[in-house]
A and B are shown apart, each in its own frame.
Chain A
């Protein structure tokens, strides 16, 4: 099964003095749901772009099943914050798009796309136009599109960041169900602490200037949800609250030290809900 390995990754923006990311190592395999949590400026989107292959790392090595990552490819499916669906195609064609690019025949790819739509609870929406969908529905189509191409790993770039709180909770639960059923490794970035603690099997806390891993946690709340426990029961479990408060304290400690280091370092404030 798939194994994604990042070995001492660094990234530089051209012209910038300080690196965006420094010395990041992580390993992601089946049954794992790795969440990168950090304030804006901690380089979490850059990290996802490196894994997706949209930008090359300036140092280090990224491999998927032993093969070096060179550019974007269908083995790493991406779900974007802004759904990035194609408005000239209906929902079914959007989900089948990756298979169409791979040259798979219409009947076969549409059958597969319908399966994926059923997986994200959108079975009746195949013939809709994408502009007729709500934000949550569009994100589910984006998820189905990424899954339809049968990637080795699933990368998610703040996928629920633009949704309202109620829809976001629904989507988190849906993601855990899909993750459970497909058993694909998932790498997700977010700035929502509760979301991170709830979903992650592996939580990495990123800190800025330059972006580096501050702390790693192994959690099991997502697995407990997938095993059948209710989301409300998990989120009111004292252990969940304790973990959430611990992560929150870490993030605030980080921010204070950043403010002491540079007087203008108030960036993360509004983002940490």
Chain B
């Protein structure tokens, strides 16, 4: 595969033919991942590290099959995954629903900025796990607490990014719309929100990243299902292959979310980064 990509690069860049071993960044990344996997396989196959500390890739893979079909701690891998994704999805839905209007208000209106800006800036730097006990005292250990915690973690980045996007709207565009007769509401709907959309999507990307790590941490503390819970309970019984598997799935989901949002960004704001 790497050989193929090297050839592709050579034919694409005829002037660089004098340096035949130039690799693309993507090829370097792929090779790095392959190297790490190989190293993992090598140290476990030669029994340099005991399976209790690091199970072999094969063992983790067969455990994955077992978890997917039979389950762990009364739930299959899919049910744990669905529990986690359900929580973050619900939190994201409410965060987008409320944070975008709040961000527009902060960016557009001096009074709303005066009220909301200090509140958001006050709670935003606090690690979510620091106020989790308070949320548990208020809302119990049920689903509400977990969703609320993730919601708070996602809310701030989206609101702040939206406000920044709204403040950075090109004033000439606003004037152009005004001289075409736009009302205040039409300005927001037709100029401000589309202008701020690249920043809003970046805010959602950052928020989802923060939310996902918060979710897993929350499930370590109070849960009966979810990926974080699965890793935590497996660790207590030293079932290392489940721990490794859980970590890999968590990482894969985070990667998938990021890539999905980047694709969405390219699709929704194709003008972003154009010379315009």
Interface residues in B186-221 by Cβ distance below 8 A to A read: 186, 190-191, 194, 197
Q: In the complex, what distance in Å separates the CA atom of A74 from the CA atom of B183? A: 11
CB-defined contacts of B276 to chain A, threshold 8 Å: 85, 87, 130-131
Cβ of B270 to closest chain A Cβ, rounded Å = 8
Q: In the complex, what distance in Å separates the CA atom of A76 from the CA atom of B176? A: 11
Interface residues in B96-150 by Cβ distance below 8 A to A read: none
CB-defined contacts of B270 to chain A, threshold 8 Å: 129
Q: Judging by beta carbons under 8 Å apart, are A78 and B175 in contact? A: yes
With A101-B186, A101-B190 already in contact, the answer to whether A77 and B177 are too (CB < 8 A) is: no
- Does B32 have its Cβ within 8 Å of any Cβ on chain A? no
CB-defined contacts of A86 to chain B, threshold 8 Å: 173, 190-191, 194
* B interface size (C-beta, 8 A): 23
Q: In the complex, what distance in Å separates the CA atom of A76 from the CA atom of B172? A: 15
- Look across to chain B and name the residue whose beta carbon is closest to the beta carbon of A54: B175
- Does A97 have its Cβ within 8 Å of any Cβ on chain B? yes
CB-defined contacts of B175 to chain A, threshold 8 Å: 52, 54, 72, 78, 80, 84
Q: Judging by beta carbons under 8 Å apart, are A97 and B269 in contact? A: no
Interface residues in B242-276 by Cβ distance below 8 A to A read: 269-271, 274-276
Among B170, B177, B180, B274, residue most surrounded by chain A Cβ atoms (within 10 Å): B180
Among A78, A87, A146, residue most surrounded by chain B Cβ atoms (within 10 Å): A87
Contact among B179, B182, B269 with A78 in the assembled complex (CB-CB below 8 Å): B179
Q: Judging by beta carbons under 8 Å apart, are B179 and A88 in contact? A: no
Among B179, B181, B269, residue most surrounded by chain A Cβ atoms (within 10 Å): B179
Q: What total of A-B pairs shows CB separation below 8 Å?
A: 72
Cβ of B265 to closest chain A Cβ, rounded Å = 13
Q: Judging by beta carbons under 8 Å apart, are A74 and B180 in contact? A: yes
- Does A199 have its Cβ within 8 Å of any Cβ on chain B? no
CB-defined contacts of A77 to chain B, threshold 8 Å: 179-180
- Look across to chain B and name the residue whose beta carbon is closest to the beta carbon of A151: B179
Q: In the complex, what distance in Å separates the CA atom of A130 from the CA atom of B271? A: 9
Q: Judging by beta carbons under 8 Å apart, are B172 and A82 in contact? A: yes
Q: Judging by beta carbons under 8 Å apart, are B179 and A52 in contact? A: yes
Q: In the complex, what distance in Å separates the CA atom of A74 from the CA atom of B181? A: 4
Among B175, B178, B181, B194, residue most surrounded by chain A Cβ atoms (within 10 Å): B181
With A82-B172, A84-B170, A97-B190 already in contact, the answer to whether A131 and B271 are too (CB < 8 A) is: yes
CB-defined contacts of A149 to chain B, threshold 8 Å: 180-181
Q: In the complex, what distance in Å separates the CA atom of A54 from the CA atom of B176? A: 10
Contact among A53, A98, A131 with B180 in the assembled complex (CB-CB below 8 Å): A98
Cβ of B111 to closest chain A Cβ, rounded Å = 21
Query: 17 extra interchain contacts, Cβ-Cβ under 8 A, other than A78-B176, A78-B179?
Result: A53-B179, A71-B178, A73-B179, A74-B180, A77-B179, A77-B180, A80-B175, A84-B173, A86-B191, A87-B276, A100-B190, A101-B190, A130-B276, A145-B176, A149-B180, A149-B181, A155-B179
B-side residues, CB < 8 A to A, are: 170, 172-173, 175-183, 186, 190-191, 194, 197, 269-271, 274-276
Cross-chain pairs A/B with CB under 8 angstroms, 17 sampled: A53-B179, A72-B175, A72-B178, A73-B179, A77-B179, A78-B175, A78-B176, A80-B176, A82-B172, A86-B191, A86-B194, A87-B271, A87-B276, A97-B177, A98-B181, A101-B180, A130-B276
